[in-house]
Protein backbone atom coordinates (compact mmCIF):
# COMPACT_ATOMS: atom_id res chain seq x y z
CA UNK A 1 0.00 0.00 0.00
CA UNK A 2 2.91 2.30 0.76
CA UNK A 3 4.24 1.85 -2.79
CA UNK A 4 0.84 2.62 -4.30
CA UNK A 5 0.61 5.78 -2.19
CA UNK A 6 4.06 6.84 -3.35
CA UNK A 7 3.22 6.13 -6.99
CA UNK A 8 -0.01 8.13 -6.72
CA UNK A 9 1.93 11.00 -5.15
CA UNK A 10 4.51 10.97 -7.95
CA UNK A 11 1.85 10.84 -10.68
CA UNK A 12 -0.19 13.67 -9.15
CA UNK A 13 2.92 15.78 -8.63
CA UNK A 14 3.99 15.13 -12.23
CA UNK A 15 0.56 16.08 -13.55
CA UNK A 16 0.84 19.28 -11.54
CA UNK A 17 4.24 20.08 -13.08
CA UNK A 18 2.87 19.37 -16.56
CA UNK A 19 -0.12 21.63 -15.87
CA UNK A 20 2.22 24.46 -14.83
CA UNK A 21 4.06 24.08 -18.15
CA UNK A 22 0.72 24.11 -20.00
CA UNK A 23 -0.35 27.32 -18.24
CA UNK A 24 2.91 28.95 -19.34
CA UNK A 25 2.47 27.61 -22.89
CA UNK A 26 -1.12 28.60 -23.75
CA UNK A 27 -0.34 32.24 -24.52
CA UNK A 28 2.48 31.16 -26.82
CA UNK A 29 0.14 28.73 -28.57
CA UNK A 30 -2.15 31.66 -29.41
CA UNK A 31 0.60 34.02 -30.65
CA UNK A 32 2.90 31.53 -32.36
CA UNK A 33 0.42 28.82 -33.26
CA UNK A 34 -2.41 30.99 -34.56
CA UNK A 35 -0.61 34.15 -35.71
CA UNK A 36 2.70 32.64 -36.82
CA UNK A 37 4.56 35.24 -34.76
CA UNK A 38 7.64 34.00 -32.89
CA UNK A 39 7.49 36.13 -29.76
CA UNK A 40 10.86 35.70 -28.07
CA UNK A 41 9.65 38.11 -25.36
CA UNK A 42 7.00 35.62 -24.18
CA UNK A 43 8.95 34.85 -21.02
CA UNK A 44 9.22 38.55 -20.24
CA UNK A 45 5.45 39.01 -20.56
CA UNK A 46 5.12 36.19 -18.04
CA UNK A 47 7.58 38.08 -15.81
CA UNK A 48 5.60 41.34 -16.24
CA UNK A 49 2.44 39.56 -15.13
CA UNK A 50 4.19 38.26 -12.01
CA UNK A 51 5.53 41.71 -11.10
CA UNK A 52 2.15 43.34 -11.78
CA UNK A 53 0.44 40.88 -9.43
CA UNK A 54 3.20 41.27 -6.83
CA UNK A 55 2.96 45.07 -6.94
CA UNK A 56 -0.83 44.93 -6.62
CA UNK A 57 -0.59 42.69 -3.52
CA UNK A 58 1.93 45.09 -1.95
CA UNK A 59 -0.68 47.82 -2.28
CA UNK A 60 -3.16 45.70 -0.37
CA UNK A 61 -5.04 44.09 -3.26
CA UNK A 62 -6.02 40.47 -2.45
CA UNK A 63 -4.08 37.98 -4.58
CA UNK A 64 -7.20 36.67 -6.30
CA UNK A 65 -7.93 40.20 -7.60
CA UNK A 66 -4.28 40.87 -8.43
CA UNK A 67 -4.44 38.18 -11.13
CA UNK A 68 -6.92 40.02 -13.42
CA UNK A 69 -4.93 43.23 -12.88
CA UNK A 70 -1.83 41.41 -14.17
CA UNK A 71 -3.79 40.15 -17.19
CA UNK A 72 -5.01 43.67 -18.06
CA UNK A 73 -1.51 45.16 -17.67
CA UNK A 74 0.10 42.58 -19.95
CA UNK A 75 -2.72 42.83 -22.48
CA UNK A 76 -2.25 46.61 -22.67
CA UNK A 77 1.51 46.27 -23.14
CA UNK A 78 0.98 43.49 -25.69
CA UNK A 79 -1.44 45.64 -27.69
CA UNK A 80 1.07 48.51 -27.73
CA UNK A 81 3.86 46.15 -28.86
CA UNK A 82 1.69 44.80 -31.70
CA UNK A 83 0.74 48.28 -32.92
CA UNK A 84 4.24 49.76 -32.67
CA UNK A 85 6.41 46.78 -33.68
CA UNK A 86 4.76 43.50 -34.69
CA UNK A 87 2.26 45.03 -37.15
CA UNK A 88 5.10 46.25 -39.36
CA UNK A 89 6.80 42.86 -39.47
CA UNK A 90 4.09 40.33 -40.45
CA UNK A 91 5.51 37.87 -42.94
CA UNK A 92 9.10 38.72 -41.96
CA UNK A 93 9.88 35.89 -39.56
CA UNK A 94 13.54 36.64 -38.92
CA UNK A 95 12.89 40.35 -38.39
CA UNK A 96 10.11 39.53 -35.92
CA UNK A 97 12.44 37.25 -33.99
CA UNK A 98 15.12 39.95 -33.80
CA UNK A 99 12.60 42.61 -32.74
CA UNK A 100 11.05 40.50 -29.98
CA UNK A 101 14.49 39.33 -28.83
CA UNK A 102 15.54 42.95 -28.44
CA UNK A 103 12.26 43.65 -26.66
CA UNK A 104 12.92 40.79 -24.22
CA UNK A 105 16.34 42.25 -23.37
CA UNK A 106 14.79 45.69 -22.84
CA UNK A 107 12.05 44.31 -20.57
CA UNK A 108 14.61 42.28 -18.61
CA UNK A 109 16.89 45.28 -18.03
CA UNK A 110 13.91 47.46 -17.10
CA UNK A 111 12.82 44.89 -14.51
CA UNK A 112 16.35 44.74 -13.07
CA UNK A 113 16.45 48.55 -12.85
CA UNK A 114 13.05 48.85 -11.15
CA UNK A 115 12.87 45.74 -8.95
CA UNK A 116 16.46 44.49 -8.65
CA UNK A 117 17.60 40.93 -9.31
CA UNK A 118 15.99 39.29 -6.26
CA UNK A 119 12.38 39.81 -5.25
CA UNK A 120 10.60 38.13 -2.32
CA UNK A 121 7.58 36.04 -3.24
CA UNK A 122 4.13 36.30 -1.73
CA UNK A 123 4.19 32.90 -0.04
CA UNK A 124 2.26 29.81 -1.05
CA UNK A 125 -1.25 29.31 0.40
CA UNK A 126 -0.89 26.79 3.18
CA UNK A 127 -3.12 23.82 2.49
CA UNK A 128 -2.02 20.25 1.82
CA UNK A 129 -3.34 17.11 0.13
CA UNK A 130 -2.62 13.89 2.01
CA UNK A 131 -2.22 10.56 0.23
CA UNK A 132 -1.56 7.86 2.79
CA UNK A 133 1.59 8.82 4.64
CA UNK A 134 2.55 11.37 2.01
CA UNK A 135 1.58 15.00 1.79
CA UNK A 136 1.58 17.36 -1.20
CA UNK A 137 1.32 21.15 -1.20
CA UNK A 138 -2.21 21.97 -2.29
CA UNK A 139 -1.57 25.06 -4.43
CA UNK A 140 0.54 23.33 -7.12
CA UNK A 141 -2.10 20.59 -7.32
CA UNK A 142 -4.71 23.33 -7.83
CA UNK A 143 -2.84 24.26 -11.03
CA UNK A 144 -4.25 21.12 -12.67
CA UNK A 145 -7.73 22.62 -12.53
CA UNK A 146 -6.42 26.06 -13.56
CA UNK A 147 -4.75 24.55 -16.65
CA UNK A 148 -7.98 22.77 -17.64
CA UNK A 149 -10.05 25.95 -17.23
CA UNK A 150 -7.52 28.10 -19.13
CA UNK A 151 -7.44 25.62 -22.02
CA UNK A 152 -11.26 25.44 -22.16
CA UNK A 153 -11.45 29.25 -22.08
CA UNK A 154 -9.14 29.64 -25.08
CA UNK A 155 -10.88 26.82 -26.96
CA UNK A 156 -14.34 28.35 -26.46
CA UNK A 157 -13.04 31.85 -27.23
CA UNK A 158 -11.48 30.77 -30.52
CA UNK A 159 -14.16 28.34 -31.72
CA UNK A 160 -17.49 29.47 -30.26
CA UNK A 161 -17.40 33.26 -30.42
CA UNK A 162 -17.70 35.84 -33.21
CA UNK A 163 -14.28 37.19 -32.28
CA UNK A 164 -12.75 33.71 -32.59
CA UNK A 165 -14.13 33.25 -36.10
CA UNK A 166 -12.89 36.71 -37.11
CA UNK A 167 -9.47 36.03 -35.59
CA UNK A 168 -8.98 32.76 -37.44
CA UNK A 169 -10.20 34.32 -40.68
CA UNK A 170 -7.93 37.35 -40.30
CA UNK A 171 -4.93 35.10 -39.67
CA UNK A 172 -5.60 32.31 -42.18
CA UNK A 173 -7.07 34.40 -45.06
CA UNK A 174 -6.33 38.09 -44.36
CA UNK A 175 -7.23 39.37 -47.85
CA UNK A 176 -10.56 37.53 -47.88
CA UNK A 177 -11.27 38.71 -44.33
CA UNK A 178 -10.70 42.34 -45.32
CA UNK A 179 -12.92 41.84 -48.40
CA UNK A 180 -15.89 40.88 -46.22
CA UNK A 181 -15.38 43.76 -43.81
CA UNK A 182 -13.26 42.23 -41.03
CA UNK A 183 -10.75 44.79 -39.72
CA UNK A 184 -7.72 42.50 -39.69
CA UNK A 185 -5.43 44.99 -37.96
CA UNK A 186 -7.73 45.39 -34.96
CA UNK A 187 -8.35 41.65 -34.73
CA UNK A 188 -4.62 40.88 -34.88
CA UNK A 189 -3.91 43.47 -32.19
CA UNK A 190 -6.52 41.89 -29.91
CA UNK A 191 -5.24 38.37 -30.62
CA UNK A 192 -1.64 39.34 -29.79
CA UNK A 193 -2.86 41.15 -26.67
CA UNK A 194 -4.80 38.05 -25.56
CA UNK A 195 -1.68 35.89 -26.03
CA UNK A 196 0.33 38.33 -23.92
CA UNK A 197 -2.49 38.49 -21.36
CA UNK A 198 -2.40 34.70 -21.05
CA UNK A 199 1.36 34.92 -20.41
CA UNK A 200 0.65 37.55 -17.76
CA UNK A 201 -1.99 35.29 -16.25
CA UNK A 202 0.59 32.50 -16.05
CA UNK A 203 3.10 34.75 -14.31
CA UNK A 204 0.49 35.94 -11.81
CA UNK A 205 -1.10 32.61 -10.98
CA UNK A 206 2.31 30.92 -10.63
CA UNK A 207 3.68 33.70 -8.39
CA UNK A 208 3.26 31.68 -5.15
CA UNK A 209 5.26 28.84 -6.75
CA UNK A 210 7.84 30.79 -8.79
CA UNK A 211 8.82 34.09 -7.10
CA UNK A 212 9.03 37.12 -9.37
CA UNK A 213 12.54 37.75 -10.71
CA UNK A 214 13.66 39.38 -13.99
CA UNK A 215 14.84 36.00 -15.28
CA UNK A 216 11.83 33.90 -14.21
CA UNK A 217 10.55 33.59 -17.79
CA UNK A 218 13.69 31.74 -18.88
CA UNK A 219 12.60 28.73 -16.84
CA UNK A 220 9.50 28.30 -19.01
CA UNK A 221 10.05 29.84 -22.42
CA UNK A 222 12.34 27.20 -23.99
CA UNK A 223 10.15 24.26 -23.00
CA UNK A 224 7.02 26.22 -23.95
CA UNK A 225 8.39 26.93 -27.44
CA UNK A 226 9.36 23.30 -27.92
CA UNK A 227 5.92 22.13 -26.78
CA UNK A 228 4.22 24.41 -29.33
CA UNK A 229 6.60 23.39 -32.15
CA UNK A 230 6.09 19.68 -31.44
CA UNK A 231 2.33 20.29 -31.28
CA UNK A 232 2.12 21.39 -34.91
CA UNK A 233 -0.79 23.11 -36.69
CA UNK A 234 -3.56 22.06 -34.27
CA UNK A 235 -2.11 24.47 -31.79
CA UNK A 236 -4.32 24.35 -28.73
CA UNK A 237 -5.10 20.64 -28.53
CA UNK A 238 -1.59 19.73 -29.65
CA UNK A 239 0.05 22.05 -27.13
CA UNK A 240 -2.07 20.57 -24.34
CA UNK A 241 -1.02 17.05 -25.32
CA UNK A 242 2.68 17.89 -25.66
CA UNK A 243 2.83 19.94 -22.47
CA UNK A 244 1.15 17.20 -20.45
CA UNK A 245 3.08 14.36 -22.14
CA UNK A 246 6.53 15.92 -22.22
CA UNK A 247 6.19 17.87 -18.97
CA UNK A 248 4.63 14.96 -17.10
CA UNK A 249 7.17 12.46 -18.44
CA UNK A 250 10.06 14.74 -17.49
CA UNK A 251 8.65 15.18 -13.98
CA UNK A 252 8.19 11.41 -13.48
CA UNK A 253 11.75 10.82 -14.68
CA UNK A 254 13.05 13.51 -12.31
CA UNK A 255 11.13 11.94 -9.41
CA UNK A 256 12.75 8.53 -9.85
CA UNK A 257 16.17 9.74 -11.04
CA UNK A 258 17.38 13.37 -10.99
CA UNK A 259 16.20 16.74 -12.30
CA UNK A 260 18.97 16.59 -14.92
CA UNK A 261 17.61 13.24 -16.12
CA UNK A 262 14.14 14.81 -16.30
CA UNK A 263 15.41 17.64 -18.51
CA UNK A 264 17.33 15.14 -20.66
CA UNK A 265 14.11 13.14 -21.10
CA UNK A 266 12.23 16.28 -22.18
CA UNK A 267 14.75 17.35 -24.82
CA UNK A 268 15.51 13.85 -26.14
CA UNK A 269 11.83 12.98 -26.58
CA UNK A 270 11.25 16.38 -28.17
CA UNK A 271 14.06 15.76 -30.67
CA UNK A 272 12.72 12.27 -31.41
CA UNK A 273 9.17 13.57 -32.02
CA UNK A 274 10.42 16.33 -34.32
CA UNK A 275 12.45 13.76 -36.24
CA UNK A 276 9.38 11.50 -36.48
CA UNK A 277 6.89 14.34 -37.18
CA UNK A 278 8.79 17.31 -38.74
CA UNK A 279 5.56 19.32 -39.10
CA UNK A 280 4.29 18.47 -35.60
CA UNK A 281 2.31 15.59 -34.15
CA UNK A 282 -0.99 17.10 -35.33
CA UNK A 283 0.05 17.79 -38.94
CA UNK A 284 -2.36 15.18 -40.35
CA UNK A 285 -5.29 15.95 -38.07
CA UNK A 286 -8.42 17.33 -39.72
CA UNK A 287 -9.30 19.65 -36.86
CA UNK A 288 -7.47 22.98 -36.81
CA UNK A 289 -7.78 24.12 -33.18
Taking only the tens place, the pLDDT of each residue in 3-52 is 777 787 888 888 888 898 899 889 888 887 777 788 889 999 999 999 99
The CA distance from 138 to 79, in Å, is 35
Q: What is the DSSP letter of 91?
A: T
Exposure on the CB side of residue 250, measured as CA atoms within 13 A: 25
Question: Please, are residues 10 and 255 in contact by the beta-carbon 8 Å criterion?
Answer: yes
Is pLDDT at 168 greater than 50 in this prediction?
yes
pTM: 0.89
pLDDT at residue number 288: 56
3-class DSSP state of 58: helix
pLDDT at residue number 173: 67
Mean of the per-residue pLDDT values of the chain:
84
Nearest Cα to 225, choosing from 197, 248, 199, 200?
199
Q: What is the pLDDT of residues 245-270, one digit of tens each?
A: 888 888 888 877 788 888 888 889 99
How large is the average pLDDT for residues 165-181? Answer: 69
Amino acid sequence: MMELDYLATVLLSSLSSASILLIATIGLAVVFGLMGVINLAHGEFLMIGAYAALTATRYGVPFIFAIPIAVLVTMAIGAAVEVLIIRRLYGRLFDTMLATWGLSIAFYQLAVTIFGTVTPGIGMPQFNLKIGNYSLAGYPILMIGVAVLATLFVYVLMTRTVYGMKARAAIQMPEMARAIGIESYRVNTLTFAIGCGLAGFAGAVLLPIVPATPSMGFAFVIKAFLAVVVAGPVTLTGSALTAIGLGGGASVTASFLTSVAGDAFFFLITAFLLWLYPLGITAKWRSKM
